[in-house]
């Protein structure tokens, strides 16, 4: 069955992973273990409800401060993260090539309202056919039901859909829902796997 729709992650695929990199820098500035701090901060963004639009950014930072004692205003902490979401231009060019070849490409990302701020600077939405942001949809990739639900909304079968993400857990959940998947580990590997599945690569 031919792939018709491609769902691609934002941080870690279309852009650098600003969330984890920024949080680890916050940890270092506050003399915290970066890996332990990131694991806690990642858990709290889901538990606070911020990830799915059920809480505010301020709620999230307050929860993180209570748990860790970190210093810094909301704006200072946000800046550590947002400035690290740098678009990966070769991946963006590849997405443009896929769309020109007839594929529909959508962002499927566990993000917050920060993504809209990034788009105002980087115009990343212009490179895709639509955006499924957990903050706006109320659905996270941590929930396996997200994948069949989005396929249904887009009017495609799981076997007509390719999902690309750098998070192994998200990739495993998508695969269990019978989507084609690529676990993004490097641009070279991604390009090769993409060509094998779609016939369209990222090279000239």
The DSSP code sequence of 70-138 is ----HHHHHHHHHTT--B-HHHHHHHHHHHHTT-EEEEEE---THHHHHHHHH-GGGGSSEEEEHHHHS
The answer on 98 and 30 residing in a single domain is: no
For residue 203, is it within any domain?
Answer: no
Kindly report the pTM of this predicted structure.
Answer: 0.95
Number of domains in the chain: 2
Lowest-pLDDT range of 11-15, 19-23, 159-163, 199-203:
199-203
pLDDT digits (tens, 9 = 90+) for 94-117: 999 999 999 999 999 999 999 999
For residue 204, the model assigns a pLDDT of 53
**pLDDT above 70 covers what percent of the chain?**
99
Q: Within this chain, do residues 10 and 78 fall inside the same structural domain, yes or no?
A: no
Same domain, 105 and 152: yes
Q: Which of 82, 101, 127 is a domain's end point?
A: 82
Q: Are 143 and 120 in contact (CB under 8 A)?
A: no
Mean of pLDDT values over 109-129: 96
Residue 204 in domain: no
Whether residue 80 has pLDDT greater than 90? yes
Do 136 and 112 share a structural domain?
yes
Note down the domain range covering 28: 18-82
Give the pLDDT score at 18.
94
> pLDDT for 153-199, tens place per residue?
999 999 999 999 999 999 999 999 999 999 999 999 999 999 999 99
Do 69 and 138 fall into the same domain? Answer: no
Domain C-terminal end among 27, 60, 82: 82
**What average pLDDT does range 119-134 have in this prediction?**
96
129 and 106 in contact (C-beta within 8 Å)? yes
Q: Do 60 and 147 share a structural domain?
A: no
Same domain, 123 and 97: yes
Confidence of residue 202 (pLDDT cuts 50, 70, 90): confident
């Amino acid at each position: 069955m031919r792939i018709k729709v491609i769902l691609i992650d934002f941080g870690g695929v279309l852009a650098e992973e600003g969330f984890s990199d920024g949080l680890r820098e916050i940890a270092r500035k506050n003399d915290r273990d970066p890996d332990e701090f990131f694991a806690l901060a990642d858990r709290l963004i889901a538990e606070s409800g911020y990830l799915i639009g059920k809480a505010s950014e301020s709620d999230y930072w307050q929860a993180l401060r209570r748990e860790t004692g970190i210093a810094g205003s909301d704006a200072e902490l946000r800046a550590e993260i947002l400035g690290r979401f740098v678009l990966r231009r070769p991946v963006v060019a590849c997405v443009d090539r896929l769309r020109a070849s007839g594929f529909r490409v959508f962002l499927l990302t566990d993000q917050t309202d920060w993504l809209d701020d990034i788009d105002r600077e980087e115009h990343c939405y212009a490179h895709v056919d639509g955006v499924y942001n957990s903050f706006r949809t109320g659905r996270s990739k941590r929930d396996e039901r997200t994948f069949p639900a989005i396929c249904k909304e887009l009017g495609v079968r799981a076997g007509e859909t390719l999902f690309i993400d750098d998070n192994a857990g998200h990739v495993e959940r998508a695969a269990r829902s019978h989507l084609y998947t690529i676990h993004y580990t490097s641009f070279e590997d991604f390009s090769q796997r993409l060509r094998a599945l779609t016939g369209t690569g990222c090279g000239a």
